[in-house]
């Protein structure tokens, strides 16, 4: 029963993965529309280049068309656009599924290659540095504060934090980022406090590793503060609600009647049943943090995966878009499956019934 | 788990909780502003917003009027000396065949700071030869500055006194003739209205010469019928309730106009996505089997595909207006978190006796879904709508920040992104960025507070004991 359940789950998740990636391929290429855009761009570049070539004007128009068409065909073949899109879409799907991410059309990495995997790997550490650190930060902070709120629901601490949570939950991090840049980076400048308002390192970057690390941390301060500030509230509120539900159980009341200390009750009886949903949420947001954040990175000019995503979209570079989506899809699907596996090990109910 | 008592219970819950009341009150104000915007704004905002000539006579980067009272400084508003306020003398000398027109106006300048710009509009009607125009400013200390002396070629000549290089040269001559070292950049709007001393050319140290000024425009033309009118504008540092931006637009108009746009955008996207998602969730649970499996899988696909990048991609490839954007958002979020919630709530409802009763008397599946199940989901749908509105309002703003919003319609997000890219932060034009930011936050919070009140009804376990 259990293996059958897991097997079924794995099959369905793989199907979902394939379907999502195919959709991503089609959407990233705008159903083949991007082909036409790139085609006309190549045509335009060729024309302007050839028109500048000495002797071009002396050729007859037939000769001009002939050369133009030859070059166009070569350029289109070089970009691999000579076969119909439907056919190529399945080749792309296969490549994506085997994690052969191919070459970008326009974007190059800082090291100078067009390999999508290199471009992604170059930026991944920066995104992890900022967003994964931030996500760990706000999860832990939210967890601690949420547990404290849940102890005395309706108390002053609970009410103030809930208010804070409701407010910050409605406002996205990038918006706070913008406000904080206005408030801190600019307004404190005349007072002699200089907080950088964008970028990851100073220009030019410091040469020795220690100063480089310090410089990066200095640039990270505002974005990471923003990320934690805007997200820990709602996280605390969720934890509080989960702990409150658990605290209402009879065995907690019994433990209280026994005279156990509050810390013991929290650790033994409240935290344990609330942990599974919390672990799920944390692991999903950790995975999501690998994607970076398009707008927050744009606001802070952080050179991570989010701004790569935006640049790829802006310059209509489907291989990079698909590459980013595929990496995320794989991570997400594997995480979901692992979570399923862990819970089915931990929770006997899941082994027996597969539905609710 | 007890179910909330329908829509009536929801409204009661909102109105009886403090956060609900705060939210409703703020929302009523925002809705009031929207109604006001639609009724009051006397012109077609959408077509005028990007028309530079419409705003030409406003000051640039003017702070809201009320900053004057907050900072306790008498900051200059815009002084417009209209053509009717100019006294006009005209005569024709037959002997030389010349027509002389003299326009003169006086104005009192007694503010604590300099104007932001000066401009002069001369509308002349001439038939054959182009006329000569001479403009002079007489200051309270009886010195005279010649601003312009040249042939004009257009019947409508707009002189940007503060930036016109010829006029700047004349002002430099005026300063040099007054014995002042004027080698740096010339700021006519400052030097012309400054107390005559060595700081006259220095924008940071010059002090305002208060008193009565006289602006005079002379025109010498060649035909008796030729004539001229003038309008002189002393652009201030403060304007209206919300100030102006880099394109001299009255931000109050944009901000007020942004309210109905934001509400309509947020509500239409939130209502459609919540209803569709919960309907699909209910369908999935109620029909079960293959339908359930399909809906579940598609929901997972939707959760794997990145929503924002695809939305950005679509808005880059296609030219998109605000309402098409709503449609795309709906299509990109047909399935989602609400599908899962409504599916599990439907499972609970399905176990209840009245559904069994309905099945037993032979009600069709579709009838049970729409008549007996969906009404029970209504509180969840409403709560979801309310909680989703801020997200969509900010989504529009986010797209604007990325430069992808509808460029024609003034929205709060558009104003914020204009301000951000226009250097509002760097130059300290706080009103340009903070006022739309505040409005968008207030609107988002009003929904968040109502949503919080609703959340307690929909999830009764959250109620404090």
CA of A81 vs chain B CAs: smallest distance (Å): 19
CA of B275 vs chain A CAs: smallest distance (Å): 20
Asked if B317's CB is within 8 angstroms of A34's CB, the reply is yes
Report the C-alpha gap between A283 and B448 in whole angstroms.
Answer: 26
Asked if A17's CB is within 8 angstroms of B465's CB, the reply is no
Asked if B464's CB is within 8 angstroms of A294's CB, the reply is no
Residue A164 banded pLDDT, cuts 50, 70, 90: very high
Q: Residue count of chain A, please give it.
A: 356
CA of A79 vs chain B CAs: smallest distance (Å): 20
Report the C-alpha gap between B75 and B68 in whole angstroms.
Answer: 6
DSSP B113: S
Q: Does B30 touch chain A (CB under 8 A)?
A: no
Asked if A245's CB is within 8 angstroms of B390's CB, the reply is no
Which of A30, A37, A298 is facing B402, going by the closest CB pair? A298
Which of B390, B425, B461 is facing A181, going by the closest CB pair? B425
Cα A233 vs. chain centroid, distance in angstroms? 20
* DSSP-derived 3-state class of residue B286: helix
Mean pLDDT, each 10-residue run in order, chain B (465 residues) = 60 83 92 84 79 87 88 88 91 90 93 91 86 93 91 88 90 89 86 88 88 93 88 91 90 89 93 95 93 91 89 86 90 91 89 90 92 89 91 91 83 90 83 92 93 78 51
CA of B19 vs chain A CAs: smallest distance (Å): 9
Residue in A298, A313, A330 to test binding to B, most B beta-carbons within 10 Å: A313
Residue A3 banded pLDDT, cuts 50, 70, 90: confident
Which of A12, A175, A298 is facing B297, going by the closest CB pair? A12
pLDDT of residue B315: 87
CA of A251 vs chain B CAs: smallest distance (Å): 17
Q: Does B38 touch chain A (CB under 8 A)?
A: no
Q: Is the pLDDT of residue A217 over 80?
A: yes
The nearest alpha carbon in chain A to B461 belongs to: A245
Asked if B316's CB is within 8 angstroms of A313's CB, the reply is yes
Q: What are phi and psi of B246, to 5 degrees?
A: -65, -20
Residue B379, CB-side half-sphere exposure with 13 Å CA sphere:
24
DSSP B318: S
Burial of B209 (0-12, 13-18, 19+ CB in 10 A): buried
Report the C-alpha gap between B147 and B168 in whole angstroms.
Answer: 8
Residues A270-324: tens digit of each pLDDT? 887 788 888 888 888 888 888 888 999 988 999 999 999 999 998 888 899 999 9
pLDDT of residue B5: 56
The nearest alpha carbon in chain A to B305 belongs to: A20
3-state secondary structure string across chain A = CHHHHHHHHHHHHHHHHHHHHHHHHHHHCHHHHHHHHHHHHHHHHHHHHHHHCCCHHHCCHHHHHHHHHHHHHHHHHHCCCCCCHHHHHHHHHHHHHCCCCCECCCCCCCCCCCEHHHHHHHHHHHHHHHHHHHHHHHHHHHHHHHHHHHHCCCCHHHHHHHHHHHHHHHCCHHHHHHHHHHHHHHCCHHHCCCCCCCCCCCCCCCCCHHHHHHHHHHHHHHHHHHHHHHHHHHHHHHHHHHHHHHHCCHHHHHHHHHCCCHHHHHHHHHHHHHHHHHHHHHHHHHHHHCCCCHHHHHHHCCCCHHHHHHHHHHCCCHHHHHHHHHHHHHHHHHHHHHHHHHHHHHCHHHHHCCCC
Residues A195-215: tens digit of each pLDDT? 777 888 888 888 888 988 888
Residue A265 banded pLDDT, cuts 50, 70, 90: confident
The nearest alpha carbon in chain B to A29 belongs to: B313
pLDDT of residue B292: 92
CA of A242 vs chain B CAs: smallest distance (Å): 9
Q: Is the pLDDT of residue A223 over 90?
A: yes
- In the structure encoding, which two tokens stand for residue B63, read together? 């702070």
CA of A167 vs chain B CAs: smallest distance (Å): 6
Q: Does B128 touch chain A (CB under 8 A)?
A: no
Binding-face residues of B in 235-294 toward A, CB within 8 A: none
The nearest alpha carbon in chain B to A329 belongs to: B304
Q: What are phi and psi of B109, to 5 degrees?
A: -120, 110
Strands across the sheet with B117-125, in order?
Answer: B79-81, B227-235, B117-125, B156-160
Which of A16, A175, A245 is facing B394, going by the closest CB pair? A175
Report the C-alpha gap between B312 and A293 in whole angstroms.
Answer: 13
Give the number of other Cβ atoms within 10 Å of residue B315's Cβ: 20
Asked if B416's CB is within 8 angstroms of A178's CB, the reply is yes
ipTM: 0.85
Q: What are phi and psi of A80, to 5 degrees?
A: 75, 30
Q: Look up tokens 């080698």; give the residue.
A: B183
pLDDT of residue A57: 81
The nearest alpha carbon in chain B to A309 belongs to: B309
Which of B305, B308, B394 is facing A23, going by the closest CB pair? B305
Burial pattern B152-183, b for ≥16 Cβ within 10 A else e, equals beeeebbbebbebeebbebbbebbeebebebe
- Chain B positions in Cβ-Cβ contact with residue A20 (cut-off 8 Å): 300-301, 304-305
The nearest alpha carbon in chain A to B1 belongs to: A245
The Cα-based distances of B174 to A164, A221, A310, B188, B201 in angstroms read 60, 52, 53, 10, 11
Asked if A166's CB is within 8 angstroms of B452's CB, the reply is yes
Residue A347 banded pLDDT, cuts 50, 70, 90: low
A105 Cβ contact list (under 8 Å, min separation 6): A38, A79, A315, A316, A317, A318, A319
CA of B116 vs chain A CAs: smallest distance (Å): 23
Binding-face residues of B in 401-460 toward A, CB within 8 A: 401-402, 416, 420, 425-426, 428, 430, 433-434, 437, 440-441, 444-445, 447-449, 451-452, 459
pLDDT of residue A355: 45
Binding-face residues of B in 330-359 toward A, CB within 8 A: 344, 347
CA of B412 vs chain A CAs: smallest distance (Å): 12
- Chain A positions in Cβ-Cβ contact with residue B412 (cut-off 8 Å): none
- Chain B positions in Cβ-Cβ contact with residue A333 (cut-off 8 Å): 304
Report the C-alpha gap between B10 and B4 in whole angstroms.
Answer: 8
pTM for the whole thing?
Answer: 0.86
Which of A154, A169, A310 is facing B312, going by the closest CB pair? A310
Cα A16 vs. chain centroid, distance in angstroms? 19
Asked if A328's CB is within 8 angstroms of B304's CB, the reply is yes
A45 Cβ contact list (under 8 Å, min separation 6): none
Number of cross-chain residue pairs from A and B with Cβ atoms under 8 Å apart? 125
Report the C-alpha gap between A73 and A86 in whole angstroms.
Answer: 19
Burial of A171 (0-12, 13-18, 19+ CB in 10 A): buried
pLDDT, mean over chain A: 86
Burial of A86 (0-12, 13-18, 19+ CB in 10 A): exposed
CA of A343 vs chain B CAs: smallest distance (Å): 19
- Whether a cis peptide bond, with omega within 30° of 0, leads into B99 is no
């Amino acid at each position: 029963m259990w293996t059958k359940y897991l097997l079924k789950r794995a099959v369905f998740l793989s199907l979902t993965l394939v379907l999502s990636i195919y959709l991503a391929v089609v959407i990233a290429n705008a159903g083949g529309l991007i082909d036409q855009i790139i085609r006309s761009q190549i045509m335009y570049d060729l024309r302007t280049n050839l028109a500048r070539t000495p002797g071009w004007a002396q050729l007859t128009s037939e000769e001009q068309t002939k050369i133009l068409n030859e070059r166009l065909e070569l350029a289109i073949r070089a970009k691999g656009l000579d076969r119909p899109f439907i056919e190529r879409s399945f080749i792309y799907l296969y490549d994506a599924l085997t994690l052969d991410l191919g070459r970008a059309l326009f974007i190059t990495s800082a090291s100078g290659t067009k390999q999508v995997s290199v471009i992604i790997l170059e930026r991944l550490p920066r995104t992890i540095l900022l967003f994964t650190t931030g996500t760990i930060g706000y999860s832990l902070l939210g967890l601690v504060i949420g547990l404290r709120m849940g102890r005395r629901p309706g108390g002053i601490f609970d009410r103030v934090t809930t208010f804070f949570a409701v407010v910050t939950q409605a406002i996205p991090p990038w918006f706070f980022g913008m406000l904080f840049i206005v408030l801190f980076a600019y307004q404190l400048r005349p007072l002699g406090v200089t907080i950088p308002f964008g970028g990851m390192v100073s220009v030019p970057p410091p040469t020795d590793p220690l100063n480089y690390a310090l410089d990066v941390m200095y640039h990270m301060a505002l974005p990471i503060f923003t990320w934690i500030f805007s997200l820990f509230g709602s996280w605390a509120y969720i934890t509080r609600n989960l702990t409150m539900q658990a605290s209402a159980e009879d065995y907690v009341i019994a433990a209280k009647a026994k005279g156990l200390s509050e810390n013991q009750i929290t650790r033994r009886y409240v935290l344990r049943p609330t942990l599974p949903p919390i672990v799920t949420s944390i692991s999903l947001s950790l995975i999501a943090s690998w994607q970076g954040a398009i707008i927050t990175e744009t606001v802070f000019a952080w050179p991570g995966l989010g701004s790569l995503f935006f640049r790829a979209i802006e310059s209509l570079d489907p291989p990079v878009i698909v590459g980013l989506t595929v990496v995320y899809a794989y991570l997400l699907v594997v995480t979901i499956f692992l979570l399923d596996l862990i819970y089915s090990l931990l929770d006997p109910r899941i082994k027996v019934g597969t539905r609710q | 788990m007890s179910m909330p008592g329908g829509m009536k219970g929801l409204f009661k819950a909102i109105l009886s909780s403090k956060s609900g009341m705060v939210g409703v009150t703020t929302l009523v104000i925002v809705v009031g502003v929207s109604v006001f915007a639609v009724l009051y704004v006397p012109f077609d905002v959408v077509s005028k917003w990007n028309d530079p000539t419409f705003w030409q006579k406003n000051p640039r980067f003017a702070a809201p009027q009320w900053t004057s009272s907050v900072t306790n400084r008498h900051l200059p508003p815009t002084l417009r000396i209209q053509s009717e306020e100019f006294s006009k003398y005209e005569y024709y000398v037959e002997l030389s065949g010349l027509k002389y027109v003299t326009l003169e106006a006086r104005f009192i300048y007694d503010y604590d700071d300099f104007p932001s710009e000066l401009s002069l509009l001369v509308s002349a009607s001439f038939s054959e030869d182009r006329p000569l125009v001479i403009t002079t400013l007489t200051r309270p200390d009886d010195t005279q500055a010649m601003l312009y002396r040249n042939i004009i070629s257009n019947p409508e000549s707009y002189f940007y006194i503060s930036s016109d290089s010829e006029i700047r040269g004349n002002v430099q001559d005026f300063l040099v003739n007054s014995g002042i070292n004027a080698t740096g950049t010339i700021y006519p709007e400052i030097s012309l209205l400054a107390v005559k001393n060595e700081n006259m050319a220095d924008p940071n140290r010059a002090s305002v010469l208060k008193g009565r000024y006289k602006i005079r425009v002379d025109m010498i033309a060649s035909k008796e019928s030729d004539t001229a009118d003038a309008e002189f504008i002393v652009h201030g540092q403060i304007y209206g309730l919300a100030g102006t931006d880099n394109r001299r637009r009255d931000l109050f108009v944009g901000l007020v106009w942004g309210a109905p746009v934001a509400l309509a955008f947020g509500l239409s996207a939130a209502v459609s996505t919540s209803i569709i998602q919960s309907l699909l969730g209910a369908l999935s649970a109620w029909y079960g089997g293959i339908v359930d499996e399909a809906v579940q899988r598609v929901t997972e696909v939707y959760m794997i595909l990145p929503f924002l990048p695809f939305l950005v991609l679509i808005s880059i490839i296609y030219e998109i207006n605000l309402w098409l954007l709503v449609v795309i958002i709906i299509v990109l979020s047909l399935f989602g978190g609400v599908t899962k919630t409504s599916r599990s709530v439907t499972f609970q409802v399905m176990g209840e006796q009245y559904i069994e009763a309905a099945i037993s008397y032979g009600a069709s599946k579709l009838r049970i879904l729409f008549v007996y199940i969906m009404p029970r989901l209504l509180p969840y749908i409403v709560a979801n709508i309310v909680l989703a509105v801020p997200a969509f309002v900010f989504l529009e703003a986010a797209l604007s920040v990325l430069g992808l919003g509808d460029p024609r319609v003034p929205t709060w997000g558009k104003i914020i992104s204009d301000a951000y890219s226009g250097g509002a932060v760097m130059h300290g034009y706080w009103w340009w960025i903070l006022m739309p930011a505040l409005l968008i936050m207030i609107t988002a919070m009003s929904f968040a507070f109502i949503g919080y009140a609703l959340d307690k009804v929909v999830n009764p376990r959250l109620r404090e004991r």
